[in-house]
A and B are shown apart, each in its own frame.
Chain A
Amino acid sequence: MIRLTREAIDYHALTESVRDPHCGAVVLFLGTVRDLTGEQVTVFLDYEAYAPMAEKKLAEIEAEVRRRWTVGEIALIHRLGRLAVGDVSVAVALSCPHRGGAFDACRFAVDTLKELVPIWKKENAPDGSGEWVHQCVSASREHQRPEKT
């Protein structure tokens, strides 16, 4: 299951929803809003998405996880809009027969989400200034550099 939402994420219900009698391991990852990035204080974040493509990429991640690991159930939810420090921005929950697969699959899902899903955050400082977070180069653009081939 994948979803974009503007509501607070009920990660307790999400965790319950992926439990499976064939699975002995359940892993939940929560991304939470921090108060500091380096020395820069954040008072709130704004998340925006290119929704149809973000949903497509989340669905592709789910499919890839299911292809690589034996998964009982998996759920990926990302929240959009204005979030306060401490709020949950993203939740990934899944169940696997054993803990090795569960940890590895969750790690892969989160890492891939952070690399490929078209969602951006804007960090807003106490003085009212805000800055979109764009690391050096888009991962997708990196793959096209001549030196990578």
Chain B
Amino acid sequence: MTLTVILFAAARELAGADSIAVELSPGATAADLRAELAQRVPALAGLLARSALAVNHDFADDVLVLRPSDEVAVIPPVSGG
């Protein structure tokens, strides 16, 4: 399945794109997506390790199984407020 991962702030700048399409096997987890993303975009790996993932607007644990319809985003450490 192909998932489009939305990028924000420094993640967007490091990747040079608003989003990245990632190919995953059925049953892949958020952890698998992290690994695939880090491999696809090595420049993003360092920040990615310190970032959360959001799936359908909620923070996702690494063990979460992903579905083709999921909206996924990289959430670097936030700095609002």
A140 within 8 A of B: yes
Interface secondary structure of A, over-half rule: mixed
A49 within 8 A of B: yes
B47 partner, pick from A31, A53, A134, beta carbons under 8 A: A134
Chain B residues, CB < 8 A from A13: none
A108 within 8 A of B: no
- Would you call B9 and A120 a contact (CB within 8 A)? yes
- Would you call A138 and B81 a contact (CB within 8 A)? no
Chain A residues, CB < 8 A from B62: 144
- Would you call A52 and B57 a contact (CB within 8 A)? yes
Q: A120-B8, A134-B50, A138-B52 are in contact. Are A47 and B75 (CB under 8 A)?
A: no
CB distance from B5 to the nearest CB of A (A): 12
Chain B interface residue count, CB cutoff 8 Å, equals 23
A1 within 8 A of B: no
Chain A residues, CB < 8 A from B52: 138-141
CB distance from A121 to the nearest CB of B (A): 5
Chain A, Cβ-Cβ closest to B81: A114
Chain A residues, CB < 8 A from B23: none
Chain A residues, CB < 8 A from B77: 134-139, 141
CA distance A140 to B51 in the complex (A): 8
- Would you call A138 and B61 a contact (CB within 8 A)? no
Chain A, Cβ-Cβ closest to B75: A118
- Would you call A110 and B8 a contact (CB within 8 A)? no
Chain A, Cβ-Cβ closest to B6: A50
CA distance A122 to B79 in the complex (A): 9
A119 within 8 A of B: yes
On B, residues with C-beta under 8 Å from A are 6, 8-10, 13, 47, 50-52, 54, 57-59, 61-62, 73, 75-81
Using A113-B81, A138-B78 as known contacts, list a sample of 10 further A-B pairs with CB atoms less than 8 Å apart, ordered by residue number in A.
A50-B8, A56-B57, A114-B80, A114-B81, A119-B79, A120-B78, A120-B80, A132-B13, A139-B78, A140-B75
Q: Top 3 A-B pairs ranked by shortest CB distance?
A: A119-B80, A114-B81, A140-B52
